Structure 1
């Protein structure tokens, strides 16, 4: 028998297996460090792209739900699938989305990112998402897209906005929690994929579920609410539609608790929970379920 050690086995060139949860945790932490250390301008511009991208998903969703011939469930599920376009652009194309970046909390918990760096990223990306969303609002309004389907697209935007402003702050907070629980799970699952098809297939169901269930996403609301508000200020509201709630105060009434709920759901129920399971409980180098 030869004493010569056998050469180390090389990994396969093509691997169709999904990354394990432990590997996903390590990848998200590394990406979190990169995100937190992006230069200000790059972070802001990528956030602008993400805000517009989520707005495009919201636009696509509105086309579906404006069809009065669809049943409630069909419209919600199909609308949710259409809305997934936004996160597909963000994850595959590369952009900075506030709700997904709540997972930076994992790198923060490991001590790889400071509190200041994490909060800086969140603030810059949040306002970048807002700029991108409002920019898309202007383009959509000027394109007269809202006039499609006999004006039902515009009516659907107004109805969606009014329904988002109506609940009390506590309800909106928990709708935000449940939304970003699903969005960050979509991001987590997408990191398991090795191809574009894998990533898209993994994120579609969690994203469409939060839309179908009527939960609240602060960046999507940065599109719906300003667009509806713009319609009220330009006389684009049907005379029989009550748009009294669609005001700046109504917009803040929605965005503040929804944003806080998104943070709690994404950073708390996904990021912190997975960090405790795969880092705190089993150790940094653990490869459980690999």
Structure 2
């Protein structure tokens, strides 16, 4: 399993961020649309497995298949560009601006949402035979998820909002680690293994992922969930997006960049040896 050293894959992260900022509008939207759609299919797949087996761990173990597919095909999630694009600005790449980063984030958000919503409509049709019957058992489960993770948070007020935000932070800490995982190996097997682990963790722990929620909550509204668009936006999507931004950038992008690209000066060997000798004499005394 070919493995890149941290300094190598962190440089690839910066290069990727720069490339995404300068990508054409068309390509950015197409890649984001496909990423949102594939991740939505994976979410539907995982919920189906969980309902049919009665074991949430089974769904979590298999959910990363969608994430691996979309990154192997070179598509983009909002959670990934949250982490990668700012690194190109911090690294002072020519032509990279805050406006360019915000443009990329906006386009990826729109593309991800369009892709996830497209799959949400398709799956709602499947779950209800074209809206001619009540949702099947999987559709009913999706409706319940939407209620619990909107009005469920709202019932706790500010504490619920804080919990939602922290779940968003923890989610993209893991998801962006998965994005980095796609860069640590030069073969498909290594990439898949490195991506699989953190994605499985975030899904099983019930952390909040803004793109997965772009599928689950519109689906829930179409399938009879007892919550509103306002509930979805205010009590899930917007705080989740903010939490995802903080989690991916603070705990993955900045930490890796600061310690593997802009490393601190090394300690002076003579000075360190002098300190150790002094400690030894003191202890002996």
TM-score normalised over the length of structure 1: 0.82
Question: 1:143 is paired with a residue of what secondary structure?
Answer: helix
Aligned counterpart, 1:124? 107
1:105 and 2:83 correspond: no
SS at match of 2:223: helix
- Offset of residue 93 of structure 1: 1.1
Point out where structure 2 has 5 or more consecutive residues left out of the alignment: 154-159, 266-285
Give how far 1:205 is off: 1.1
Structure 1 unpaired stretches of 5+ = 1-15, 233-242, 284-290
After TM superposition, the structure 1 = structure 2 runs for residues 1-290 of structure 1, keeping only pairs within 5 Å, are: 16-67=1-52, 70=54, 75-103=55-83, 104-112=85-93, 113-144=96-127, 151-165=136-150, 166-167=152-153, 168-232=160-224, 243-244=225-226, 246-252=227-233, 253-282=235-264
Q: Which string of whole-angstrom CA distances, capped at 9 and with x for unpartnered residues, describes residues 20-61 of structure 1?
A: 111110111111111110111110111110110110110111
The question of whether the paired residues in 2 share the 8 Å contact of 1:161 and 1:224 is answered with yes
> In 2, Cα distance between the equivalents of 1:130 and 1:157?
17
SS in 2 for 1:38: coil
Q: Over aligned residue pairs, what C-alpha RMSD do you find?
A: 1.9
Instruction: Quote how far apart the aligned CAs of 1:145 are.
Output: 6.8
Q: Deviating runs (4+, > 6 A) in structure 1?
A: none
Cα deviation digits, residues 243-282 of structure 1 (max 9, x gap): 43x2111111200100000000001111011111112225
Count of equivalent residues: 251
More helix by share: 2
Change beyond 3 A, Cα 1:31–1:145: farther
